[in-house]
Amino acid sequence: MSMTFRGRLLAATVCVGALSAATLAAAPAQAETLADAIALAYQNNPTLQAQRATQRALDESYVQARSGWRPTLGLAGSARWSENQTPLRGRGQDFDGDGIPDTPGALVGGASRSNVGQAALTFSQPLWTGGRVAAAVNAANADVLAGRETLRRVEAQVIVSVIQAYSDTRRDQETLRIRQENVSVLTRQLEESQARFDVGEVTRTDVAQSQARLSQAQALYQQAVAQLAITRASYAALVGQNPGDLAPEPSLAFLLPGDPDEVFQAAEEFNPQLRAQQYTEMASRARLAGARAERMPQVSAQLQVGHQGVVDPWDPRETWGRGYSATVNASVPLFNGGLTTSRVRAAAERNNADRITIEGVRRNVLQAATQWWSQLIAARANIASSEEQVRAARIAAEGTRQEQQVGLRTTIDVLNAEQELRQAELNQVSSRRDEYVAAANVVATMGRLEAKHLIPSEPQYDAAKNFRKLRITWGWVPWEEPIGVIDRLLTPFPSSAPSEPKDQAPVAPGLQPAPAVAPSAPR
């Protein structure tokens, strides 16, 4: 029986205690890879699925805009029964012939009745809208393209979150292992100090120092257990299942450039946030053209077929008449109290704001590229330094322990050396995590952190597929295209149709499992 999501999150917390022992046990035959985690999130992450549904809803705005070129067909009918009475007011006279004078003011006279029904079928076709519909179609098209870029941005954010949760989980698993090993070493150190105290080689102070360091290590171990539970819950929320034995992170070198200039160039060309703002500006520019088109005339044609007669299903006579009419309507706006002019000014300022925002977004993107590239370079330097720190700290800890055996070092010297070694190992683990997360964010800023680059073998979601399906669907008519051409050309306020964005070809080979690293020999 499958677990509920709440159960999976609870399991992420409950099973941490068992995981602390499992991390030191034999690993399963096949570890979970980062590509597996990204593929699961790509298929079932709620944030990403909701954004895809939002994009499909946005695609419908293009169909709704094009309906302004399409005909409308309506059927209207009505049935009416009425009775009219003509009152006469008598003054003591016998109007009804019964020999009794009628009461003054009595209602007498005749009544007329009518029974009329009518039905009409009306066909209307816009011929020229002065560019209104053309502008609305271009604006909707730009909105759809901006929505696709927003979907790319959300996809990149989800993948970055998965990578960070994956790296955090591996970091915290290693932290837990280091903390557990520290507790084991300090436990042996306390036992050794107690034994030496029993034979009079050390004082009670040495035993107390060992006990204090062991208690501190046990507290840090419990903190590591809690932190691992938190990161596992974050991983489960993103991916949809708890992390198992995680394989080392694969290299992202195939997506990273060699110098920062390539980062800036790719970010300006492919960053989804910047692209979305550019399409937003195109949409507001088209809406400005639509506001100006409100000053133009409109031409439409109408054909109506109507029937009218007595509504009586039991009357065999033909009492219904038919009527036909064909009309060409032209309307010219002359004066509306300055409403159109005000709308034009408002649309112009919205377009100015969107155009100015492009520069602001570009600066933010370049700032983010600089920030993450700098963090990447710093993290790489920290990895080299932390590896050297671990090597030196391990030699120092072993040497201090041996010197203690011959009386050259005290217990506190051994404890300090052991603490420095553990801190060096923790720094090394954190540096590797920081380097990988920084690299992922550099790739995301460049607009390359997409499923087609990372997991090309998995089925890819095509955001344009639904849009292409809606291009010719229910409501489309063959004469829609020439009317659209006329509407675009015969207007003094044309709006340019947005073009499809330049796409990046998938970058091979995708995420590959990291090479197996032989475990270091125990000390």
Pairing of strands 88-89, 321-331: unpaired
DSSP 52: H
Cα-flanking dihedrals φ and ψ of residue 308, to 5°? Answer: -150, 140
Query: What's the domain range around 421?
Result: 34-79+113-489
pLDDT of residue 504: 84
Tokens of 227: 């932190």
pLDDT of residue 334: 92
pLDDT of residue 391: 95
State the CATH number of the domain containing residue 472: 1.20.1600.10
**What's the length of the chain?**
523
Question: Does residue 492 come out as left (phi exceeding 0), alpha (psi in the -120 to 50 range) or beta?
Answer: alpha
- The residue ranges of the chain whose pLDDT is under 70 are 1-30, 86-112, 312-319, 514-523
For 299-321, b/e burial (b = at least 16 CB within 10 A) is: ebeeebebeebeeeeeeeeeeee
pTM as predicted: 0.84
Question: Exposed, middle or buried by CB within 10 Å (0-12, 13-18, 19+), for 75?
Answer: exposed
Q: Are 232 and 169 in contact (CB under 8 A)?
A: yes
- What is the total count of domains within the chain? 1
Q: Are 165 and 437 in contact (CB under 8 A)?
A: no
57 vs 229: CA distance, rounded Å:
38
Q: Could you tell me which residues come within 8 angstroms of residue 98 by beta carbon, excluding any fewer than 6 positions away?
A: none
pLDDT of residue 353: 97
pLDDT of residue 116: 81
pLDDT of residue 268: 95
Residue range 289-347, pLDDT digits in tens: 999 999 999 999 999 998 887 776 656 556 677 889 999 999 999 999 999 999 999 99
Does some domain include residue 413?
yes
Does some domain include residue 394?
yes
24 by DSSP, 3-state: which?
Answer: coil
- For CA atoms 427, 430, 435, 436, the dihedral sign is positive
Does some domain include residue 23?
no
Does some domain include residue 509?
no
Does some domain include residue 8?
no
Q: Which of 411, 495, 425, 385 is nearest to 140 (CA)?
A: 495
Does some domain include residue 64?
yes
pLDDT of residue 26: 40
Q: Could you tell me which residues come within 8 angstroms of residue 422 by beta carbon, excluding any fewer than 6 positions away?
A: 178, 179, 182
Instruction: Transcribe 245-298 into DSSP letters.
Output: SBPPPPP-TTTS-SSHHHHHHHHHHH-HHHHHHHHHHHHHHHHHHHHHHTTS-E
pLDDT of residue 14: 42
Does some domain include residue 512?
no
262 vs 258: CA distance, rounded Å:
7
Residue 323 CA from chain centroid, whole number: 56
Q: Are 158 and 327 in contact (CB under 8 A)?
A: no
500 vs 467: CA distance, rounded Å:
12
294 vs 33: CA distance, rounded Å:
58
Q: Are 74 and 82 in contact (CB under 8 A)?
A: no
Bridge-partner residues for 327, per DSSP? 302
Does some domain include residue 6?
no
pLDDT of residue 222: 97
pLDDT of residue 46: 96
